[in-house]
């Protein structure tokens, strides 16, 4: 912590420290640029990139189509006068199935993040299936906890 007396000395010390920090950062960045390391095998990346892109696009397209077709179906049923207690129960059934979506996704993301933290401390090689298994088990544990909470809530 800086003292208020002797402001000139503190300013010089701060300037020296800032200069050394900037100098070390610039040299650090240069040395990092010189390092050549592979984060992911290029063949694996070439396979996973299209799968991830097409999977994301396909999932988005599926959910968009589902929402639009449900909307169109509901609108046509209302226009033709088929709205009675049974159809209203069907409309409300979709919302009743997932009472606490925030809890579900919160648990899943929490356990996924917890598995990533645990993987940081477990030594494993790049070819090891351990990280994938730990991640899958953790996410499944989040789903199971949500399932049992909803089962308990429905009783």
More confident residue, 55 or 20: 55
Q: 108 with 136: CB under 8 angstroms?
A: no
Q: Please give the residue range of the domain that contains residue 121.
A: 98-155
> CA–CA separation, 72 vs 65, rounded Å?
10
With cut-offs at 50, 70 and 90, classify the pLDDT of residue 2: very low
Q: How far, rounded to the nearest angstrom, does the alpha carbon of residue 106 sit from its chain's CA centroid? A: 10
Domain membership of residue 148 (yes or no) is yes
Domain membership of residue 133 (yes or no) is yes
Domain membership of residue 77 (yes or no) is no
Tell me the pLDDT tens digit for each residue of 99-140: 788 888 899 999 999 999 998 888 888 788 888 899 999 999
């Amino acid at each position: 912590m800086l003292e208020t007396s002797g402001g000139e000395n503190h300013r010089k010390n701060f300037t020296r420290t800032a200069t050394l920090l900037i100098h070390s950062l610039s040299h650090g960045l240069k040395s990092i640029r010189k390092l050549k390391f592979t984060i992911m095998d290029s063949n694996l990346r070439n396979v996973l990139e299209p799968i991830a892109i097409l999977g994301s696009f396909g999932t988005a397209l599926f959910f968009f189509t589902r929402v639009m077709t449900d909307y169109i179906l509901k609108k046509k049923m209302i226009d033709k006068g088929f709205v009675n207690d049974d159809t209203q129960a069907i409309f409300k059934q979709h919302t009743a199935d997932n009472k606490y979506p925030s809890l579900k996704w919160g648990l899943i993301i929490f356990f996924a993040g917890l598995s990533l933290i645990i993987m940081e401390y477990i030594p494993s090689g790049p070819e090891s299936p351990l990280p994938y298994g730990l991640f899958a088990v953790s996410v499944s544990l989040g789903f199971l906890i949500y399932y049992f909470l909803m089962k308990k809530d429905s009783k």
